Chains A and B, each alone.
Chain A
Amino acid sequence: MKSERGIYLLIGAFFFLIMVIYFLWSGEAGGSIMLFAAAGLGIMPGLYFAWWAHRMPPRPEDRADATLSDGSGPVGTFPANTIWPFVLGMGAALTALSLVFGVWLAVVGLAFIISTALNVSLESRRGGMV
């Protein structure tokens, strides 16, 4: 956790510094705001990692002397085959294309998106398409 914290806080500090220099030197608003947001992108997850790094012991992947048995137990939950990312992708694409070809496409697209939202949330419990 400590390395991850370091990476994000380093990013945040760097962009904050650049933002201050840029803003004071140029006074230009657009770039300063974007650099400010970039600094936030570093600082927010960095503080989250710092909070956790302070409260938990190093994970097996943080320790140079960890053996494979230190990592025993579940690694994570990985879904098997599912059709819903495809349906959601098509729904999102149709909705985006409705900006070009007309609102009627968004109706089809939103139907796909809503059906995905329903089915993915139920998928693990009652079984999916495949």
Chain B
Amino acid sequence: MVSHPATKGDSMTIIAEEIGSHHHEEAHHEEQPKGILLWLTSTDHKIIGKSYMYTSLVFFIIAGALAMLIRTQLFAPNNHFVSPQTYNELFTIHGSMMLYLFAGPFAFGGFANYILPLQIGAPDMAFPRLNALSYWLYLTGGISMLLGFLTASGAAAFGWVAYAPLSSATNSPGAGPDLWIVSIALVGFSGIFTAVNLVTTTFYLRAPGMTMFRLPIFVWNMLVTGILILIAFPVLTAALIMLWADRHLGTHIYSVAGGGVPVLWQNLFWFFGHPEVYILALPFFGIVSEIMPVFSRKPVFGYKGLVFATMAIAGLSTGVWAHHMFTTGTVLLPFFSALSLLIAVPTGIKIFTWIGTMWRGQVDYSAPMLFCIGFIIVFTMGGITGVLLASPPIDFATHDTYFVVAHFHQVLFGTTVFAGFGGFFYWYPKLTGRMYREKLAKLQFWLTFVGFNVTFLPQYLLGLKGMPRRIAEYLPADHFTTLNQISSVGAYLTGFAFVVWMINLWISWRKPIAAPKNPWDGHTLEWATDSPPSHHNFDRLPPIRSQRPVWDMNHPEYADHRVSHGGVLAESTETSNEE
């Protein structure tokens, strides 16, 4: 054990355990391994966070390519671009990859891993080795899912929800569905470990003065997401183990034949699945709550309102699982309908808070802000159709139609892609030490925004006309053709937007423009350190006297605590204006 004295400010000490220090030369201590060995052995939250982010983006591109194939199949009536079985595999793996392998890990593995310790002034996550293990479980889980395409029976084809009895050994034979089960179990464990890490880090590794109610909103949202993961994921893992036992050990938990209850799967799955939607959404709400104030040059409007709205959303989301099962006829309609409608209240509070943050601010329409505004528009539309669907009579009419498909794509694409790419561009300078090209990012935004809406708004109409989801073919007499063609063209446009994104990354890689410490005049602690940050994050921390320590440091004349915490005014003499 070697202690690194005083890497932080006055006298905080980080003790780094130098493994192998008894066996290596003195000079080796400070050296990090390079290249692939660094990737394999690192326990640094920044390297693991980046690995998570790049891996999840690769899965996003693959799943997006599958979506293009789906839309190509649906471009014309009676189309035979792919076989019906292949089509089932495509939408199953598209949904599974987007939900399990992209959206969640992108947020709580990528952004949270990288940004959360920086925002609370911590040197690393609480359990660095566990953090590394989470990543390896996630990567192997993802690869296991894709292996399904290489098996003789093909990949899983029962949809991302794997309803019993379709997922039984009789109805879905072969190795593909088993690989899917194993894959989700591995990714589930990875998520649980990450959640343990996030919650512990937030509770135990905050810098002095960083009280819970000075935490950035992003950290609050990740904390609540972490707790929600701990509630939801173990249920899914248990359900998957029972599904595997049904398929291979002859149990009859989900089959009527042996006295089991197929609808039990739906109860267990959605007890995970509905919180999962908020596990995907809350981190991105946090990202938006970070970007909005910085690009409006104002503090966030209604800090405590946002915090309690986040907790209310998380709490309510765990009591609404059966609103996915209204048509099964086995659930308590008024209970689930009422709780589902109630979620609109805290969500509405959030939307008004974001608008209140922009209100009378000096809004800077750079790419991260544009993506956030796009998020608000798209997500609000998706949220309002969600309120419609929470009403059982409307759900009975639209269940399993394209109306539902359009609804959840607006909610999930709005959060994970619009807010996600807003966050990507916002933190890209911090992650890489390079700037992206603003014009290309704006072009990407407009292509995504137009392409996305052209894809999914027609699907509401298709749903109302009665087009069921998960069908590979339709007839010319159904009159679905025109709307489907518009939708497919929109999908190609959205796909092209991500080609623009890759060009942007390529240019930034080949012709780098160095990023300063704090390109956006940011508020939170990650902007107080270098871009990218050094090994244990901070050489010195600014004093933490408000929710915006870096803003206070850079603009002492407008510091928050002068206004809101008059009692600690004397402390502000410590404030230095170094940059």
Min distance, Cβ A27 to any Cβ of chain B, angstroms: 9
Q: 11 A-B pairs, CB-CB below 8 angstroms?
A: A7-B223, A28-B332, A41-B230, A73-B13, A74-B3, A75-B12, A77-B17, A80-B16, A99-B178, A126-B22, A127-B22
Query: Would you call B315 an interface residue if the criterion is a C-beta within 8 Å of the partner chain's C-beta atoms?
Result: yes
Cβ-defined partner of A93 (8 Å) among B3, B14, B136: B136
CA distance A21 to B536 in the complex (A): 48
Please report A residues at the B interface, Cβ cutoff 8 Å: 3-4, 7, 10-11, 14-15, 18, 21-22, 25-26, 28, 30-31, 34-35, 38, 41, 60-86, 88-90, 92-93, 96-97, 99-101, 120, 123-124, 126-130
Evaluate contact between A74 and B182: CB separation under 8 angstroms: no
Given contacts A26-B332, A31-B322, contact A85 B133 (CB under 8 A): yes
Evaluate contact between A65 and B123: CB separation under 8 angstroms: no
CA distance A55 to B137 in the complex (A): 39
CA distance A71 to B157 in the complex (A): 54
Evaluate contact between A64 and B140: CB separation under 8 angstroms: no
Cβ-defined partner of A67 (8 Å) among B178, B322, B536, B571: B571
Min distance, Cβ A87 to any Cβ of chain B, angstroms: 9
Interface mask (B136-174 → A, CB under 8 Å = 1, otherwise 0): 110111001000000000000000000000000000000
Contacts of A96 in B (CB 8 A): 144, 182, 185-186
Given contacts A25-B335, A78-B536, contact A3 B209 (CB under 8 A): no
Given contacts A96-B185, A100-B175, contact A78 B264 (CB under 8 A): no
CA distance A82 to B128 in the complex (A): 10
Query: Would you call B578 an interface residue if the criterion is a C-beta within 8 Å of the partner chain's C-beta atoms?
Result: no
Min distance, Cβ B365 to any Cβ of chain A, angstroms: 35
Contacts of A127 in B (CB 8 A): 19-24
Contacts of A74 in B (CB 8 A): 3, 13-15
Given contacts A65-B568, A130-B20, contact A76 B123 (CB under 8 A): yes
> Which residue of B has the minimal Cβ distance to A75?
B14
Evaluate contact between B13 and A85: CB separation under 8 angstroms: no
> Which residue of B has the minimal Cβ distance to A60?
B208
Among the stretches B32-40, B385-393, B480-488, the one at the interface with A is B32-40
Cβ-defined partner of A92 (8 Å) among B15, B21, B186: B186
Min distance, Cβ B62 to any Cβ of chain A, angstroms: 19
Evaluate contact between A84 and B205: CB separation under 8 angstroms: no
Evaluate contact between A11 and B315: CB separation under 8 angstroms: yes
B 105-145 contacts with A by CB, 8 A: 122-124, 126, 128-130, 132-133, 135-137, 139-141, 144
Evaluate contact between B43 and A78: CB separation under 8 angstroms: yes
Evaluate contact between A65 and B19: CB separation under 8 angstroms: no
A85-B129, A97-B182, A124-B1 known, 20 other contacts, Cβ within 8 Å: A7-B311, A18-B319, A31-B267, A63-B209, A64-B545, A65-B571, A69-B11, A73-B13, A75-B123, A79-B19, A80-B16, A80-B18, A81-B19, A85-B135, A92-B133, A92-B140, A92-B186, A93-B136, A126-B22, A127-B19
Cβ-defined partner of A82 (8 Å) among B12, B129, B267, B335: B129
Evaluate contact between B129 and A120: CB separation under 8 angstroms: yes
Min distance, Cβ A34 to any Cβ of chain B, angstroms: 5
CA distance A122 to B574 in the complex (A): 45
CA distance A97 to B175 in the complex (A): 10
Cβ-defined partner of B227 (8 Å) among A11, A64, A71, A82: A11
> Which residue of A has the minimal Cβ distance to B14?
A75
Interface mask (B236-255 → A, CB under 8 Å = 1, otherwise 0): 00000000100010000000
Evaluate contact between A78 and B186: CB separation under 8 angstroms: no
CA distance A107 to B271 in the complex (A): 34
Evaluate contact between B12 and A68: CB separation under 8 angstroms: yes
Among the stretches B210-218, B276-284, B371-379, the one at the interface with A is B210-218
Min distance, Cβ B224 to any Cβ of chain A, angstroms: 9
CA distance A78 to B137 in the complex (A): 21
Query: Would you call B318 an interface residue if the criterion is a C-beta within 8 Å of the partner chain's C-beta atoms?
Result: yes
Cβ-defined partner of B137 (8 Å) among A84, A93, A100: A93
Min distance, Cβ A79 to any Cβ of chain B, angstroms: 5
CA distance A112 to B175 in the complex (A): 24
Contacts of A93 in B (CB 8 A): 136-137, 140-141, 144, 186
Evaluate contact between B133 and A88: CB separation under 8 angstroms: yes
CA distance A67 to B22 in the complex (A): 36
Contacts of A124 in B (CB 8 A): 1, 17, 19
CA distance A101 to B571 in the complex (A): 64
> Which residue of A has the minimal Cβ distance to B28?
A130
Min distance, Cβ A28 to any Cβ of chain B, angstroms: 7
Cβ-defined partner of A72 (8 Å) among B12, B214, B536, B541: B12
CA distance A109 to B50 in the complex (A): 27
Identify the 3 closest CB pairs spanning chains A and B, nearest first: A89-B136, A93-B140, A60-B208
Query: Would you call B576 an interface residue if the criterion is a C-beta within 8 Å of the partner chain's C-beta atoms?
Result: no
Query: Would you call B565 an interface residue if the criterion is a C-beta within 8 Å of the partner chain's C-beta atoms?
Result: yes
Evaluate contact between A22 and B319: CB separation under 8 angstroms: yes
Evaluate contact between A80 and B144: CB separation under 8 angstroms: no
Evaluate contact between B178 and A100: CB separation under 8 angstroms: yes
Evaluate contact between B33 and A78: CB separation under 8 angstroms: no
Min distance, Cβ A35 to any Cβ of chain B, angstroms: 7
Query: Would you call B206 an interface residue if the criterion is a C-beta within 8 Å of the partner chain's C-beta atoms?
Result: yes
Contacts of A22 in B (CB 8 A): 319, 332, 335
CA distance A101 to B567 in the complex (A): 66
CA distance A79 to B17 in the complex (A): 5
> Which residue of B has the minimal Cβ distance to A130?
B41
Contacts of B210 in A (CB 8 A): 61
Evaluate contact between A90 and B136: CB separation under 8 angstroms: yes
Min distance, Cβ A117 to any Cβ of chain B, angstroms: 12
Contacts of B12 in A (CB 8 A): 68, 71-73, 75
Cβ-defined partner of B212 (8 Å) among A4, A14, A35, A68: A4
Cβ-defined partner of B271 (8 Å) among A11, A34, A76, A100: A34
Contacts of A70 in B (CB 8 A): 208
